[in-house]
Amino acid sequence: MVNIRENKVKHKLGRGELSTMLMGHNTTDMIDFMGPLGFDSVLLESEHGPVDFADIGPLTRICDIWDMTSIVRINFNNPSIIYRTLDLGAQGLMVPHINTAEEAEAVVDAAKFAPIGSRGSYTSRQGYGIGDYFSKANNETLITILLEDIIAINNLSEILKVDHIDAFYVAPGDLAQSMGYIGQSSHPEVQEVVNNAINQIVSSGKIAGALSNDQNVESYINMGVKFLGISWTNWVIGGGKNYLNQVTTTKSR
């Protein structure tokens, strides 16, 4: 009997370990190229990027090859979007703009089979040849919700009471906008709200996620963040600028 593919991120977080998520423009070749680096997961961008249903199968297969959890950020909290994304092979979901406990419960209901939820009864690509797929899928499906509006922060105590959510990810960009600081995610007031939210999540015994970079990753780890997202595009931009600066500096001598 074939065993269901283990969800690396879900199990690492469940053991209280750090887990990493690589973010950026998605192609099968890019994921293949990044695979040997050793990241735990890849965010497949279906909210702000071009990933559509037809792309999920090929992209998740490349993630499978490199033992990286495939996480699709969907564009809307909708049951049919959620279970179709999972049916096509995604091992995890990231759901945007979750502002209430009821909205968080709706995510769980759509992503989990009975008796936990009411996900449509169908065998995912990840379930071919798997005995007792439905119960095993519940144990291997990662659910991450995005807290990216100030209303979500105000309702955080109630949202944190919702079971079966693997990570509560605090997103600074939209949060800044909802606080009146559009484009200013590093504003001190925004950062204070982000840090307070992370502390509240960690204190509740739940898993906090955050958008990290080379400069803040250590401080987030020290705060107790376990799920760390990083955009590889920042490395390309930084390296490219540094190279061009050296070319200009050398040329001017």
The enclosing domain of 58 has a CATH number of 3.20.20.60
Q: How many CB atoms lie within 10 A of CB 236?
A: 12
Percent of the chain topping pLDDT 90: 93
Nearest Cα to 75, choosing from 173, 146, 172? 146
Tell me if 18 is assigned to some domain.
Answer: yes
| Average pLDDT of the chain to the nearest whole number | 96
Residue 133 lies in a domain: yes
**pLDDT of residue 137 exceeding 90:** yes
- What pLDDT digit, counting tens, does each position of 36-88 carry? 999 999 999 999 999 999 999 999 999 999 999 999 999 999 999 999 999 99
**Is 2 part of any domain?**
no
Residue 184 lies in a domain: yes
Is 1 a member of any domain? no
| pLDDT for res 2 | 80
CA-nearest of 237, 220, 240 to 18 is: 220
Q: Tell me how far CA of residue 71 lies from CA of 32, 41, 164, 196, 235, in angstroms.
A: 16, 7, 16, 26, 21
pLDDT-derived band of residue 1, with 50, 70 and 90 as boundaries? low
Parent domain of 227:
8-251
Q: Is residue 93 part of a domain?
A: yes
Alpha carbon 214 to chain centroid, angstroms: 18
Beta pairing partners, 208: 168
Task: Identify whether 12 is part of a domain.
Answer: yes
What is the pLDDT averaged over residues 10-22? 98
Structural domain count, the chain: 1
Catalytic positions? 48
**Domain membership flag for residue 3:** no
CA distance 208 to 133: 29
Type of residue numbered 210: A
SS3 label, residue 93: strand
* Chain segment 205-253, per-residue pLDDT in tens: 999 999 999 999 999 999 999 999 999 999 999 999 999 999 998 877 6
